Structure 1
Amino acid sequence: MKVYSLEKSDKSKTGNDGFVQKRNFMNETHWIFIGLLPVMVKSNLCLLHSLNESECLFDAGGYFLVKGMEKVFIAQEQRCLRRLWISDRPCWTISFMSEIKRRRIYIKLVESTRSEDFSESKIITISFLYATMPVWLLFFALGISSDKEVFDMIDMQDCDASVINTISATIKESDKLCEDFRKSDKARQYVDELVKSSRFPPAESFDDYIARFLFPDISGNRNKALFLGYMVKCLLMAFTGKRKCDNKDDFRNKRLDLPGELLGRELRAQLRLAEKRMVKAIQRDLNSDRELQDLERYIDASIVTNGLNRAFSTGSWCHPYKRAERCSGIVATLRRTNPLQMMSDLRKTRQRVAYAGKAGDARYPNPSYWGKLCFMSTPDGENCGLVKNLAVTAIVSSRVMQPLIESFISCGMSKLNDIPTEHIQRMDKIFLNGNWVGSCENSASFVFRLRCMRRSSLIDPQVEIKRDKHHNEVRVFTDAGRILRPLLVVENLNKIRKPKGRSFSFHELMQQEIIEFIGVEEEEDIQCAWGIRHLFESEGAISSYTHCELDPSFLLGLSCGIIPFANHNFARRVLYQSEKHSQQAIGYSTTNPHIRVDTLSHQLYYPQRPLFKTVIADCLGRSDYASFGRKNDFARPEYFNGQNAIVAVNVHQGFNQEDSLVMNRASLERGMFRTEHLRSYKADVENKDGTKRLKLKEKIDFGKTESKRGRVDNLDDDGLPYVGASLQTNDIVIGKVSESGEDHSIKLKHTEKGMVQKVLLSANDEGKNFAVVTLRQVRTPCLGDKFSSMHGQKGVVGFLESQENFPFTHEGIVPDIVINPHAFPTRQTPGQLLEAALGKGIACKGTMRYATPFTTASVDVIAEQLHRAGYSRWGSENVLNGRTGERVQSLVFMGPTFYQRLIHMSEDKVKFRNTGPVHPLTRQPVADRKRFGGVKFGEMERDCLLAHGSAANLHERLFLLSDFSQMHICQTCERVANVVMRSVPGGKKIRGPYCGFCKSSENIVRINVPYGAKLLYQELFSMGICLKFETQVC
């Protein structure tokens, strides 16, 4: 997308005798290119907005494409700037916050240095434009004429002695600083002199900087004084304990910055930089008396384009308040292992803290998260509690552009200018986005009529309306970044009782006033029922409820709400499944892999739906907001990342100890959990001219079998392999040479192989050509691969057993997986047992049933269903031993369970080497598998070999195969003798060990030591510490 700005006007003047009689303005608009801005995928400006052919069916967009990478914004939790903030640390303070520092206002209760009486030790001061003064002076500078009018604006009824003393001390302090301050001109002059002598004095006049920096959204000095009095009142009420301090972790005091706000912030920073460069270039021409050129010559469009690309690539974004600082973690690469992982990345939120180790209460759940954020979906480690996921039905509000003042007036509001000062405090205040816009006599009637207008779509449904009974206030919010969630309106539920069997879409329910969006603050005013079932089971209590949950499972996140029987499991296991296993499970990452080029991807060959279903799973993949009761309307199997396996809970000859699994070899050979591994290799193509390519062919022929770097027999004359070629370890996948004949080919590593699936030649935005070769590898589960159920029961394949050796039932059913019985009492996941029992009943009856958290059937219902199907009530069965054919004495619990294959495969983690690179300092093998490093051998491995008495093996691992070295020791002084070139009698020079301390080459022995010990000696010697070695000849 091209961004244009700047309008140029050409003016001409006509006049007689030097006097201008007429002006003719000729405006000519020039569009000037100032940079490129990334466009969000599937937005209105995107080319894919209305394109469905060849696109992924479950790709909803919401991310950006920058330099071929998919980048996604993580919503940032920021302090709400539309509220007053009350704090008691380090002193009692109420602040009016703004992104611009000069607009921030702080009113504090501070100790008076002039007061002689202890009871008058606190005064009220205000910090405005870096100047601090008693707040009483600013009241009179704004035009207030008497103390009584100020008292009326503050409106502190039933004041105690501390408030009276504080106000009296403030008045005395004002009188000492400015005599006759009750005269408006005196107070105005004093405030102006104080502000002009501050650290950053404004250049404007008093009226101008008051209008610009003191509550800029409020017009008129009287209205500004009223809001100032309201701030003083809130501070005094908090000081006396009648009002609570604001909690910074409460979501009513937070807003989410979405991609539009974040991208606009970075764009403004880049435009300021471009403007600065442009002004410097114009000033340079003016100072050198050059003729000014067109404006296009001074604007460097690469500043905006490269700056945004750099920000997307590094994830470093400009700070919301501090221009000199940058924030990290704003942008991340979109992960596409499976659809759930992709959708979870799009719904993540992040709270930025200065130091993650001292986050304090920010990590703990807050009651305001209820229904807005998932309590379980948060990562472990340093980001625990700081990175969160939105609940399933939670949305983030956009800015409401509809003017609401006329609607307020129609509901009974009076403007501030129409109300006398002595009457205004008796009325209920009405705030719009934190600004005091009016008052009303009856706030209950006002709120009721305004909410009726919202339900009937006369005003935007995202408007949040809060009535504060304790402080006689009505707060209305229309700003962006608020989290809203839909709830059922109980009084209108009778509209959908009559037409039974009909399904209603979400928009139809909104139009019929059955569903409305509720914000964090407004939720305090309602009585919400737990669910529709709970609502109708207590018919007598319906009148006490105003709203009802759509479904209790909607309180959870997307990846957490599809877990069956999640409320029966240990909370930590639910967290592992929702944040780890569900996002590491191999599924169907996209439905158009043939037109995509991903660096690394996995595809499950035969994805299946689970036998059960949940309410959230039913909503996946629907094009509209349909209801949950529609028959034969299930989500696509690509949304589920696994297959249904027959799982038996039993021991199997010691091969499934701890978290180990025993899998059926025959099931795997039939294609169970078989996946496809795709890896792409990319190389820049600097030269595509045919004549020069022939010259290169004379130097290096890609048609021969071998080259100096590896096999090239699968490459064509252009250096690229043909589709279907089988490449093995150390083969060259892309042959590339320079014009001088230097080889720059890309070679497969010692653990890589595959079949060529795709060869692509293309060009990027800068016009540079590149080639991409994609290799495909089919992978069957093997020893060491990881699997997991949907209940956090992760296990590693420990043994592949033949089918004939597995136990089987009288019906001939052989399990696919055998897990250890000790997995359930230690990990506390009875939900998996319920899933297996429910799945067995579903398989017998042939109809799917719900396993939604919080609303599932009881254990007795599931047991009765199994009994009717002819099985044991508790899912256990008699089995026969596959080896002997005898009946196993104990009962074995067996049933279908949905299992997921994780991306952690032993083939990707295999690590071996006989020789390779070593560290230049320690001469030990380098780390990292990508660098062909050595196998890690740490303290636990050392202790294991010591326990087994394998001293020779330990000596080989830690010494002979690591950093074997030799050094010479002088037995006379017990110090290290260096190997030097020295002269001997006869004029000859020999090289050998020589002790520099004893000046002799006698009594020197050679010992074997690790090079790390030798390096330690040298480092200590450089610090003046000399070590001595006692040696003994054996």
Structure 2
Amino acid sequence: MALSGKRKCDKKDDFRNKRLDLAGELLGRELRVHIRHAERLMVKALQRDLNSDCELQELDRYLDVSIITNGLNRAFSTGSWCHPSKRNERCTGIVRTLRRTNPLQMITDLRKTHQLFAYAGKAGDTRYPNPSYWGKLCFMSTPDGEQCGLEKNLAVTAIVSSRVAQPLIDRFVPCGMNKLDEIPTEEVRKMDKIFLNGDWVGSCTDPASFVLRLRFMRRSGLIDRQVEIKWDKHQREVRVFSDAGRILRPLLVVENLNKIRIQKGGSYSFQSLIQQEIIEFIGLEEEEDIQSAWGIRHLFGRLSCGIIPFANHTFARRVLFQSAKHSQQAIGYFTTNPHYRVDTLSHQLYYPQRPLFKTVIADCIGGSEYAYGRKDDFARPEFFNGQNAIVAVNVHQGFNQEDSLVINRASLERGMFRTEHFRNYKAEVQNKGGSGGNKRLKMKDKIDFGKMQSKRGRVDKLDNDGLPYVGSSLQSGDIVIGKVSESGEDHSIKLKHTEKGMVQRVLLSANDEGKNFAVVTLRQVRSPCLGDKFSSMHGQKGVIVNPHAFPTRQTPGQLLEAALGKGIALGGTMRYATPFTTASFDVITDQLHKAGFSRWGTESVLNGRTGERMQSLIFMGPTFYQRLIHMAEDKVKFRNTGPVHPLTRQPVADRKRFGGVKFGEMERDCLLAHGAAANLHEQLFMLSDFSQMHICQTCERVVSVVMMPLPGGKKIRVPYCGFCRSSENIVRINGPYGAKLLYQELFSMGICLRFQTEVC
């Protein structure tokens, strides 16, 4: 029909033509595949016994349950799942890691949508926002790089429909539908078609009445509230959807608002509003038929975007940084039982605080017991991970250029932004008694790990059972779990050269399969140091902020947050910083003026170094800051000399192999601008791929070092020119090994370089 021009082409990026596969749908599809596989094998085994006239056994002997178990385990471990439509193909990238740095990051990961797409070429319109996203997905929240536009987040109020098990065809008949087998052939063309999940199930003569009755049944709860009803007048079709994977959002029914009367102190839960037909779920198809208007428009954003104060006054790129990166990387208190969990790596902030400001989104995410708009309470304070810092906007002797920070040392010593880090090491253990059963140990039967020397590292912190003492301090190179195989081979787990900590807990337990395992938890307390990363709610990274950062990065929202926070701390009543709905600037400034402070938030301060009063006024105010997981202790990558690549003889790039960060072109240009020639020579030559070459001054080619015989039968290594067949007029020069390697590769292609040398 689209080719003939009778209707428009469907857009593949429109969410009306898409369905989300949730965990239940994926597991059910994968389970059905493995069940069919087990059934086929069972039928083959039964058929084989029937054909051979063997006595049939119990049915359990023919059904191999391990096929289903191993298949599901393989799907989770490899991430390869069955394709929804292609039988012989598998989908990759289904399984993702649930990150638990803070509660906000965990909820964000649970509400992400991933679009499987090949990154070989340009994705075209797939990466661009679509009008169908409005109210269902967040336009701002998408990562950088190859996943840009393909990874999205559901809006705060959006839900994903589940499969409706209720039979709906019988409900259509009382609403005016005629079944296909009851309609005369000549009358079909005069009636509107009715489709259920794409299948033609009947027709009706009065589609308006049919749709009205069906929607009344949905609001009354006679049919499932997630059923979507679409009346296409142009195509003369009524499309009803009850499948899973559709994005729905709740909307207020205007004609039913008079059913409720909000009493003083009264409240209504979300479920009660649905039961009273005040709220109903609307899908993408049905939304085209209704007349909707903006009501509470700030509810449409993603959760991490909706809790940013004054986001409408901040550059969109900075809002994206905070919502997609910084809010998920902030260290907070992600659980209330950290000492009973066995996470591989976890972080905790010592003194988490809640911000002074509030947003409407922060109130809406509260539970049923939370009273909306409560003055001194937060619905979910765990979504805010940071502390309130008193921030000054000042050029502080140039120490806060770009993203640099200037923090009060006394505050750091008192515990400001101090964090605790846990790392768990896990290993399977198997205690053998006597001589180890039928297998013979090459070592003695009873092993004392505390006295046994290990080639892997130091064992002086281990007990006799191979586990460290609780409270002992382990450094890089220490053995954290001593383990020896039955053949006597050492399989101990050693700390890497960048890891250290105090033993917090030693746990011995067993899993469901009966295998014993040991878990050792190391704890490390970290105070902020040079190189650690901080961020405000607006993507800024300075505690004494350089005033030049605001015009270039366009984040005046942080100034408003500081002014509002100062007014709140002084007892002000205006507490909300919701985007697009906040009061004017005059309300914020009047709140400061009534408290006896400067209307514009400036203060007269003293110089902490000299004790003199500064001549200019400094803008100051409390700002909510976050400490991120990016720390110098985990990121530092520098070294003097170490392992080199066997081919290029240049330093390796992997930190695990004692490598460093490449000294690139920008760093080279900086040293050139400063005139640091000796430092440049050391970094790019002496500490990189220093080598020596021999050049023949006659033919200006690189010569080789060969073994030359001497009188008496001895041989020595001397440079020899194969072109001139002489070992005279040869000089030795210092040069990078990369130049020598380039000469050899060009020489293999028939290109010979010549070097002109002079004696200096």
TM-score of the superposed pair, with normalisation by structure 2:
0.92
Aligned-pair CA distance for 1:601? 1.1
Aligned to 2:406: 662
**8 Å Cα contact 2:386-2:626 kept in structure 1:** yes
CA, structure 1 residues 498+708, in 2 after alignment: closer, same or farther (shift >3 Å)? closer
Aligned to 1:572: 317
Deviations 1:165-190 (A, max 9, x none): xxxxxxxxxxxxxxxxxxxxxxxxxx
Q: How does 1:676-715 map to 2 (within 5 A)?
A: 676-689=420-433, 701-703=448-450, 709-715=456-462
- Structure number with larger C-alpha Rg: 1
Aligned to 2:218: 454
- What is the letter of the counterpart of residue 528 of structure 1? S
Aligned to 1:103: none
Q: The residue matched to 1:358 in structure 2 has which SS?
A: coil
Q: The residue matched to 1:345 in structure 2 has which SS?
A: helix
Aligned-pair CA distance for 1:657? 1.4
Q: The residue matched to 2:702 in structure 1 has which SS?
A: strand
Q: Give % identity.
A: 82
Aligned to 1:185: none
Q: The residue matched to 1:528 in structure 2 has which SS?
A: coil
Equivalent of 2:659 in 923, 933, 936 = 933
Q: After the TM superposition, which of the residue ranges 705-714 and 868-877 deviates more from structure 2? A: 705-714
**8 Å Cα contact 2:694-2:730 kept in structure 1:** yes
Aligned to 1:588: 333
Aligned-pair CA distance for 1:860? 2.1
| Alpha-carbon distance in 2 for matches of 1:1024, 1:279 | 67
| Alpha-carbon distance in 2 for matches of 1:373, 1:999 | 76
Aligned to 1:736: 483
| Alpha-carbon distance in 2 for matches of 1:399, 1:605 | 44
Asked which structure has the greater RCO (Cα within 8 Å, sep 6+), the reply is 2
| Alpha-carbon distance in 2 for matches of 1:941, 1:376 | 34
- What is the letter of the counterpart of residue 755 of structure 1? M
**8 Å Cα contact 2:720-2:727 kept in structure 1:** yes
Aligned to 1:751: 498
Q: The residue matched to 2:28 in structure 1 has which SS?
A: helix
Aligned to 1:607: 352
Aligned to 1:316: 80
Aligned to 2:144: 380
Aligned to 1:877: 603
Q: The residue matched to 1:486 in structure 2 has which SS?
A: strand
| Alpha-carbon distance in 2 for matches of 1:358, 1:591 | 45
- What is the letter of the counterpart of residue 87 of structure 2? R
2:168 maps to 1:404: yes
| Alpha-carbon distance in 1 for matches of 2:180, 2:445 | 88
Aligned-pair CA distance for 1:704? 5.1
CA, structure 1 residues 316+899, in 2 after alignment: closer, same or farther (shift >3 Å)? same
Deviations 1:338-361 (A, max 9, x none): 111110111111222233642111
Deviations 1:703-758 (A, max 9, x none): 45986554332211112111111122333222333455544333323332211101
Aligned to 1:264: 28
Aligned to 2:379: 635
Aligned-pair CA distance for 1:987? 5.0
Aligned to 2:673: 947
**8 Å Cα contact 2:434-2:445 kept in structure 1:** no
Q: The residue matched to 1:866 in structure 2 has which SS?
A: helix
Aligned to 2:579: 853
Deviations 1:116-137 (A, max 9, x none): xxxxxxxxxxxxxxxxxxxxxx
Q: After the TM superposition, which of the residue ranges 320-329 and 568-577 deviates more from structure 2? A: 320-329
Equivalent of 1:424 in 188, 197, 213 = 188
Q: After the TM superposition, which of the residue ranges 1017-1026 and 309-318 deviates more from structure 2? A: 1017-1026
2:12 maps to 1:248: yes
| Alpha-carbon distance in 1 for matches of 2:443, 2:208 | 85
- What is the letter of the counterpart of residue 429 of structure 1? K
Equivalent of 2:419 in 659, 664, 675 = 675
- What is the letter of the counterpart of residue 782 of structure 1? C
Aligned to 1:892: 618
**8 Å Cα contact 1:586-1:641 kept in structure 2:** yes
Q: How many residues align?
A: 757
**8 Å Cα contact 1:588-1:639 kept in structure 2:** no
**8 Å Cα contact 1:553-1:561 kept in structure 2:** yes
Aligned to 1:545: none
Structure 2 gaps of 5+ residues are none
2:582 maps to 1:844: no
Q: After the TM superposition, which of the residue ranges 513-522 and 411-420 deviates more from structure 2? A: 411-420
- What is the letter of the counterpart of residue 510 of structure 2? A
Q: The residue matched to 1:647 in structure 2 has which SS?
A: strand
Q: After the TM superposition, which of the residue ranges 968-977 and 981-990 deviates more from structure 2? A: 981-990
Q: After the TM superposition, which of the residue ranges 691-700 and 335-344 deviates more from structure 2? A: 691-700
2:304 maps to 1:559: yes
CA, structure 1 residues 866+696, in 2 after alignment: closer, same or farther (shift >3 Å)? farther
**8 Å Cα contact 1:699-1:741 kept in structure 2:** no
Q: The residue matched to 1:845 in structure 2 has which SS?
A: coil
| Alpha-carbon distance in 2 for matches of 1:848, 1:697 | 75
Aligned-pair CA distance for 1:636? 4.4
| Alpha-carbon distance in 2 for matches of 1:583, 1:497 | 40
- What is the letter of the counterpart of residue 520 of structure 1? L
**8 Å Cα contact 1:391-1:556 kept in structure 2:** yes
Q: The residue matched to 1:340 in structure 2 has which SS?
A: helix
Q: How does 1:312-391 map to 2 (within 5 A)?
A: 312-355=76-119, 357-391=121-155
Q: After the TM superposition, which of the residue ranges 709-718 and 687-696 deviates more from structure 2? A: 687-696
Q: The residue matched to 2:324 in structure 1 has which SS?
A: helix
2:512 maps to 1:772: no
CA, structure 1 residues 377+706, in 2 after alignment: closer, same or farther (shift >3 Å)? same
Q: How does 1:161-172 map to 2 (within 5 A)?
A: none
Aligned-pair CA distance for 1:583? 0.5
- What is the letter of the counterpart of residue 534 of structure 2? F
| Alpha-carbon distance in 2 for matches of 1:988, 1:377 | 74
2:540 maps to 1:793: yes
CA, structure 1 residues 498+706, in 2 after alignment: closer, same or farther (shift >3 Å)? closer
**8 Å Cα contact 2:572-2:591 kept in structure 1:** no
| Alpha-carbon distance in 2 for matches of 1:768, 1:994 | 66
| Alpha-carbon distance in 2 for matches of 1:604, 1:594 | 14
**8 Å Cα contact 1:705-1:711 kept in structure 2:** no
**8 Å Cα contact 2:441-2:488 kept in structure 1:** no
Aligned-pair CA distance for 1:284? 7.8
| Alpha-carbon distance in 1 for matches of 2:127, 2:283 | 22
| Alpha-carbon distance in 1 for matches of 2:432, 2:552 | 62
Deviations 1:297-341 (A, max 9, x none): 555444333332222123222222223333222110110111111
2:731 maps to 1:1017: no
RMSD over aligned Cα, in angstroms? 2.9
CA, structure 1 residues 989+726, in 2 after alignment: closer, same or farther (shift >3 Å)? closer
**8 Å Cα contact 1:585-1:902 kept in structure 2:** yes
| Alpha-carbon distance in 1 for matches of 2:460, 2:409 | 36
| Alpha-carbon distance in 2 for matches of 1:325, 1:705 | 52
| Alpha-carbon distance in 1 for matches of 2:434, 2:580 | 68
Aligned to 2:467: 720
Aligned-pair CA distance for 1:841? 1.6
- What is the letter of the counterpart of residue 734 of structure 1? I
| Alpha-carbon distance in 2 for matches of 1:987, 1:644 | 82
Aligned to 2:288: 524
2:633 maps to 1:907: yes
CA, structure 1 residues 762+920, in 2 after alignment: closer, same or farther (shift >3 Å)? farther
Q: How does 1:497-508 map to 2 (within 5 A)?
A: 497-508=261-272
Aligned-pair CA distance for 1:513? 1.0
CA, structure 1 residues 608+691, in 2 after alignment: closer, same or farther (shift >3 Å)? farther
- What is the letter of the counterpart of residue 481 of structure 1? G
